[in-house]
Amino acid sequence: DIQMTQSPSFLSASVGDRVTINCKASQNINKYLDWYQQKLGEAPKLLIYNTNSLHTGIPSRFSGSGSGTDFTLTISSLQPEDVATYFCLQHNSGWTFGGGTKLELK
Amino acid sequence: EVQLQQSGAELVRPGTSVKLSCKVSGDTITAYYMHFVKQRPGQGLEWIGRIDPEDDSTKYAEKFKNKATLTADTSSNTAYLKLSSLTSEDTATYFCTGYYYSGPYYFDYWGQGVMVTVSS
């Protein structure tokens, strides 16, 4: 099974900061990496699919990059409504989530 | 618009089983691969498995092969997750999710989640 290692597990940043979250796969997953945002008490919400495609309705401050085994979610200018937990998900071979990154405001 | 509606919260005894439902509205369930995801309190997400309601074929994560059973009822447009031999480790919120059979293959539709509490 493919393992996904997500870092950091916790992140504190200020409004306007550039934020990056990383996911590393235990083997090549090509481009099949998605990013989800989950707010407290809600279901996850798709942000980015297939590494770098922005889902409909998602603000352009969110972007994704990477290939193979190393992937990054970037928030270019953190907004208060971005406080949430973020998960990566690989679907190249089966489905595996990363451990999550809890993002809070400093 | 496709919507997934899950059944209500469950309080169940250890050693028993529970069957959770996920009803699809806005389209026919046979057009979707249906997946279930587990989230323990304050923890991350775990993929449990998926079912193709068109032919009832299933695929499970290794750790859930003896724990979870996925079924679907096309007449009621509903997918089910049965969890057996429940322990405190099964206390969690369970989400259903899915995508259209021909893609794109991302989880765009989600149920609201159902909390299962295993306690004597």
Is A46 in the B-facing interface, judged by CB distances under 8 Å? yes
| Closest CA relative to residue A20, chosen from A58, A69, A56, A66 | A66
The Cα A2–Cα A8 span in angstroms is 19
Residue of B nearest to A2 (CA): B61
Q: Which amino acid belongs to residue B14? A: P
Tens digit of each residue's pLDDT (9 = 90 or more) over A41-88? 999 999 999 999 999 999 999 999 999 999 999 999 999 999 999 999
Q: How high is the pLDDT of residue A55? A: 96
C-alpha distances out from residue A95 to A6, A19, B3, B36, B112, Å? 15, 25, 22, 11, 20
Tell me whether A13 touches chain B (CB under 8 Å).
no
Q: Do A1 and B62 touch (CB under 8 A)?
A: yes
Average pLDDT, chain B: 96
Band (B103; pLDDT cuts 50, 70, 90): confident
What per-residue confidence (pLDDT) applies to A35? 98
- Residue A97 has what pLDDT? 98
Question: What pLDDT was estimated at residue B62?
Answer: 95
| pLDDT tens digits, one per residue of B4-14 | 999 999 999 99
Distance of CA B89 to the CA centre of its chain: 17
| Inter-chain residue contact A43 with B106, CB threshold 8 Å | no
Averaged pLDDT of chain A: 97
B47 touches chain A (CB under 8 A): yes
Question: What distance in Å separates the CA atoms of residue B11 and residue B94, rounded to the nearest whole number?
Answer: 13
Among the listed residues B94, B85, B110, the one whose alpha carbon sits nearest the alpha carbon of residue B41: B94
Confidence of residue A101 (pLDDT cuts 50, 70, 90): very high
Ramachandran class of B12: left when φ > 0, alpha when ψ lies in -120 to 50, beta otherwise: beta
User: What is d(CA A63, CA A82) in angstroms, rounded to the nearest whole number?
Assistant: 13
**Does the beta-carbon distance from B45 to A91 stay under 8 Å?**
no
Residue B95, Cα to own-chain centre: how many angstroms? Answer: 6
Distance of CA B54 to the CA centre of its chain: 16
Q: What is the model's pLDDT at position A78?
A: 98
Q: In the prediction, which pLDDT does B50 show?
A: 97
CB contact under 8 A, B113 and A43: yes
**Cβ contacts of B110 on chain A, cutoff 8 Å:** 43-45
Instruction: Report the alpha-carbon distance of residue A3 to residue A95 in Å, rounded.
Output: 10
- Name the band, by pLDDT with cuts 50, 70 and 90, for residue B104: confident
